[in-house]
Chain A
Amino acid sequence: MITATEVVAGVKSGNISCEELVWRIYERIERSELNCFITLNKAAALAEAREEDKRRRKNEREYEKENGRKKLLGVPVAVKDSISTQGIQTTCASKILTGYVPPYDATVVEALKREGAIILGKTNMDEFCMGTSTETSFYGPTKNPHDLSRVPGGSSGGSAAAVSPAAGEAVLALGSDTGGSIRCPASFCGVVGLKPTYGLVSRYGLIAYANSLEQIGPLASNVSDAALLLEVLAVKDERDSTNFSLEKKNNREKEGVKGMKIGVPREFLEGEGVSPEVKKAVWNAVQRFEELGAECEEVSLPNLNLKHALAAYYIIAVSEASSNLARFDGLRYGLRTGKDEDWHTTFSRIRGEGFGEEVKRRIILGTYALSAGYYGKYYLKALKVRTLVKNEFEVALKRYDLLATPTMPFVAFRLGERIKDPLSLYLADVNTVPVNLAGVPSLSLPCESSGAGAGVGAGAGAGKLPIGLQLVGGHFEEWKILRAGLAFEQATTL
């Protein structure tokens, strides 16, 4: 698959026809068995691509002057269905939002358009971002491009699968990450995904699940493309009161990892359930970093108890969810079925019909955690554990430039394997959720392939399942983890 940088250069110079590129991608999407998309924006995207080509042909010099600086000129981008797109149906993969067409664009979508990107459509996901496998979608699961019998990870499963070179259904994609929803599918699909520092990217227009934890971020087939997309997404926005302007300029001149200090936290590797092949792959990656000139050492984070962090994460996430999802009542938008009875009965019925099982489970759990008498036992306690987790990361990231861990404890599991046991799915997030509690940035990139696949994949490398490496950096130090990721990628053939 072509990279975003290549598309921008090609469209600018006229070596690539934007329309042909977009057309080819839709051909692949329509032939695909993966179910990456919920809604396609085909007619508008093709028209826009055609327009782009026409503008360039008409007056090359003017075109260069007007568009030369656009960072995503002609780049086909897929957008997760949790992100509002003006005029394009946005469902959050839920029955309750079927037919909802947002009257405005999310800030990140405005940014994509400003920089010349072409919106391909809206990608499949776990309903309201609640899941680790994209199996809770009302529109059916997305399949892993490396093995069609396995999950792509979640919740941004459609976005990750789409940018996988094995699928080629988008050049770039947007995901959102509340507890690993960008990094988990990046790991399972063998692509690059980044969860930015909390506050770096505006959440205006992101349909809220747990707003103190979530960030929109890039998914791409390579590290440079992810960095390019992040640059576009990180704009100042006063419509999100938690948005920070990016004052620190990313240090792009320096390259490589020579002299970088990398900590390898024992807790993330030695936890129960981390598969031996994942452990081995991460140690091999650490060795590669040493060969590239980084100083790596095993470290213990004694105050970061992953079990406590996981419990605290889920308590905070379900509590915020129970409050955020109260807005879906079928009054102003969304599902409204049956005959109106009294207010409470009508809304209870609509919500009972419109929400899927996992969403209901989390709303009930959150309602319980916030109900009178339990606030101190669950929610307040979780917020204090959050402080402990945050402090521990801050201390560690003063000693080290970054921390290296497995993204997921294991490779992509089979469709249907875990969905019946919600707790087993929650436990899979053990390495990703502490990062959201701390609000620090984290990159997942493929580091090795395991031989565990069934060999029924869609594309090249079929039968091999990717293993993801997670690089965690300090607040607003995305550039460090991207620099390390780039150095690693350049030194690795998968």
Chain B
Amino acid sequence: MIGKEEVGHLGWLARLELSEAEKELFERQLSSILDYFAVLDELDLDLDSETTSVEPTYHGKKDVVRADEPRAALSQAEALRNAPKTENGYFKSPRIL
């Protein structure tokens, strides 16, 4: 159902480095979990189309906004306190390009 290479690719998409042993383990385990998920195929409700009588349930209330008023926020020092690397009051990231 899901091959070792695909597990590696998913790891890349998720920015998650996986060891060879992990890839092998997950290949086996994910296949058995996906087999279980296939119980949903029994349902005949046009479930994989957007337009059916069964509406999907999304969570929460819609369009909740608070009044647009300034309020107290973290100071720069507080915001940076947990950062492993900082420079001149900024978070320091690895290079992007």
A-side interface residues toward B, CB under 8 Å? 99-101, 103-104, 198, 211-213, 238, 241-242, 244, 307-308, 311-312, 314-315, 322, 326, 329-336, 340-349, 351-353, 355, 357, 360-361, 363-365, 367-368, 371, 376-378, 380-388, 390, 422-423, 426, 437
Minimum distance in angstroms from A365 CB to a CB of chain B: 6
Q: Name the A residues within 8 Å of B64 (CB-CB).
A: 241-242
Complexed CA–CA distance, A212 and B58 (Å): 8
From known contacts A100-B82, A241-B61, A333-B82, infer whether A385 and B15 are also in contact, taking CB-CB under 8 Å.
no
Is A307 in contact with B39, judged by CB distance below 8 angstroms?
yes
Q: Would B15 and A103 count as touching, CB distance under 8 A?
A: no
Shortest CB–CB separation between residue A319 and chain B, in angstroms? 12
Question: From residue A151, how far is it (CB to closest CB) to chain B in Å?
Answer: 20
16 further A-B contacts with Cβ under 8 Å, apart from A342-B94, A381-B43, are A104-B74, A213-B59, A330-B84, A332-B82, A340-B85, A342-B96, A343-B95, A349-B17, A364-B10, A364-B16, A371-B13, A384-B54, A387-B54, A387-B57, A423-B33, A426-B33
CA distance A376 to B25 in the complex (A): 27
Instruction: Say yes or no: A360-B33 contact (C-beta < 8 A), given A312-B40, A331-B83, A381-B40.
Output: no
A341 touching B81 in the complex, CB below 8 Å, given contacts A361-B26, A367-B13: no
Residues of B within 8 A of A (CB): 2, 7, 10-19, 22, 25-26, 29-30, 32-34, 36-37, 39-40, 42-43, 45, 47-50, 52, 54-61, 64, 66, 74, 78-79, 81-85, 91, 93-96
Interface SS of chain B: loop
Residues of B within 8 A of A241 (CB): 60-61, 64
A-B residue pairs, 6 tightest by C-beta: A352-B17, A212-B59, A383-B56, A336-B84, A333-B82, A376-B48
Contact of B56 among A334, A344, A387 (CB under 8 A): A387
- Decide: A322 near B47, CB < 8 A? Known: A331-B91, A334-B82, A343-B94: no
Q: Which of A360, A376, A384 contacts B22 (CB 8 A)?
A: A360
Q: Bound state CA distance, A348 and B94, in angstroms?
A: 12
Asked if A388 and B94 sit within 8 Å, CB to CB, the answer is no
Asked if A364 contacts B40 (CB within 8 A), the reply is no
Q: Which residue of B lies closest to A242 (CB)?
A: B60
User: Which residues from chain B contact A423 at a C-beta distance below 8 Å?
Assistant: 29, 32-33, 36
Q: Is the CB of B83 within 8 A of A242?
A: no
The CA of A383 and the CA of B52, in the complex, are separated in Å by: 13
**Complex CA–CA separation, A361 to B22 (angstroms):** 9
Q: With a CB–CB cut-off of 8 A, which chain B residues contact A367?
A: 10, 13-14
Smallest beta-carbon distance A311→chain B, Å: 5
Which chain B residue shows the least CB distance to A377? B48
Q: How far is the CB of A312 from chain B (nearest CB, A)?
A: 7
Q: Which residues of B contact A363 (CB under 8 A)?
A: 14, 16
In the complex, the chain B residue whose C-beta lies closest to that of A211 is: B59
B37 x A378 contact (CB < 8 A): yes
| Secondary structure of the A contact surface, majority rule | helix
Shortest CB-to-CB span from B95 to chain A, Å, is 6
Query: Chain A contacts of B84 at CB under 8 A?
Result: 330-331, 333-336
Given A103-B81, A380-B56, A308 and B11 contact (CB-CB distance below 8 Å) = no
User: Which chain B positions have C-beta within 8 A of A343?
Assistant: 93-96
Q: Known contacts being A336-B85, A346-B94, A349-B17, is A385 close to B37, with CB within 8 Å?
A: no
Residues A311 and B58 in contact, CB atoms below 8 Å apart: no
Does B57 contact A342, Cβ atoms closer than 8 Å? no
Pair A364/B30 contact, Cβ less than 8 Å: yes
For the complex, what is the distance from the CA of A244 to the CA of B64, rounded to whole Å?
11
* Residues of the B chain whose Cβ atoms lie less than 8 Å from the Cβ of A101: 81-82
Which residues of A are found within 8 Å of B81, using beta-carbon distances? 101, 103
Question: What are 28 pairs between A and B in contact, CB < 8 Å?
Answer: A100-B82, A101-B81, A212-B60, A308-B39, A311-B37, A322-B14, A330-B84, A331-B84, A332-B82, A332-B83, A336-B84, A340-B95, A345-B94, A347-B15, A352-B17, A361-B29, A364-B7, A365-B33, A367-B13, A367-B14, A368-B2, A368-B30, A371-B13, A382-B40, A383-B57, A384-B45, A384-B47, A387-B55
**Are A103 and B37 touching (Cβ within 8 A)?**
no
Q: Is the CB of A385 within 8 A of B14?
A: no
- Measured CA separation A238–B17 after assembly (Å): 38
Complexed CA–CA distance, A334 and B82 (Å): 7
Q: Kindly state the separation between the CA atoms of A331 and B60 in the bound complex, as whole angstroms.
A: 30
Min CB–CB distance B96 → chain A (angstroms): 5
* A357 engages B94 (CB within 8 Å): no
Residues of B within 8 A of A212 (CB): 58-60
For the complex, give the distance between the alpha carbons of A388 and B44 in Å.
13
With beta carbons under 8 angstroms apart, the residue of A103, A331, A365, A386 that contacts B93 is: A331
What distance in Å separates the Cβ of A275 from its nearest Cβ neighbour in chain B?
A: 21
Residues of A with C-beta under 8 A to B78: 103
Q: Which of B30, B54, B58 contacts A365 (CB 8 A)?
A: B30
Contact check, A348 vs B22: say whether CB atoms are below 8 A apart. no
A364 touches which one: B11, B55, B59 (CB < 8 A)?
A: B11
